[in-house]
Amino acid sequence: MLAAKIQAGWEPVFYEKRKRGASLGQQDFVDCLLKNGFTNSQIHQLLVELFAAGTDTSTSTVEWTRAELYKNPETMKKVCQELEMEIKQDLLKESNVMQLPYLQACVKETLRLHPPAPLLIPHRASETCQIMNYTIPKNARIVVNVWAVERDPSIWGRAIRI
């Protein structure tokens, strides 16, 4: 099982960190968890969730970008032309991305249209305030719908496509 192999790989790291304690320089995230009494199993679960979340958002962005490009053949053609002009080898490297402004713009537009986290972390109103024609009472829980803001035609115009 993959999870067991990953956990087995982390165990020596946890062991060494517990052995040395906080005596060596700067602490990392795992050091802080160990210092606060988290078990190896708890740290393992947290790290798996963090890695999965990071992988999921990246995968989602790639999938949505591909879907938007398939829906918009002219945009796809421009991306392909840019890749052919700028990339001279068969393999696209991360360092090449800076040479691909049109592709970068397409990815940014995809993130606008399909944000990986469509709702921001809830906030609390520290005092009563007026926003547009709405009164927000003190201590009200506020959740921003990024998806709606990033598709608002009064901000972005009518076109919803890359």
Q: Per-residue pLDDT for the chain (162 aa), expressed as one digit of tens each?
A: 777 787 788 888 888 888 877 555 677 888 888 888 898 889 988 888 888 777 878 899 999 999 999 999 999 999 999 999 988 777 888 888 899 999 999 999 999 999 998 999 999 999 999 998 999 999 999 999 999 999 999 988 876 667
Whether the Cβ atoms of residue 60 and residue 116 lie closer than 8 Å to each other = yes
Q: What is the structure's pLDDT at 20?
A: 79
Residue at 107 is within a domain: yes
Q: What is the structure's pLDDT at 23?
A: 58
Rounded CA separation 82/80 (Å): 5
Residue at 85 is within a domain: yes
Residue at 116 is within a domain: yes
The 3-state DSSP class for residue 139 equals coil
- Residue ranges making up the domain that contains 55: 39-156
* pTM, to two decimals: 0.66
Of 45, 43, 52, residue with least CA distance to 116: 52
Residue at 7 is within a domain: no
Residue at 3 is within a domain: no
Residue at 20 is within a domain: no
Q: What is the structure's pLDDT at 100?
A: 95
Structural domain count of the chain: 1
Residue at 26 is within a domain: no
Rounded CA separation 40/4 (Å): 13
Q: What is the structure's pLDDT at 102?
A: 97
The HSE-up count of residue 161 (CA atoms within 13 Å, CB side) is: 9
What angle, rounded to 10 degrees, do the helices at 101-113 and 40-71 form?
110
- The DSSP bridge pattern shows strands 123-124 and 129-131 to be unpaired
Rounded CA separation 40/92 (Å): 38
Rounded CA separation 113/52 (Å): 22
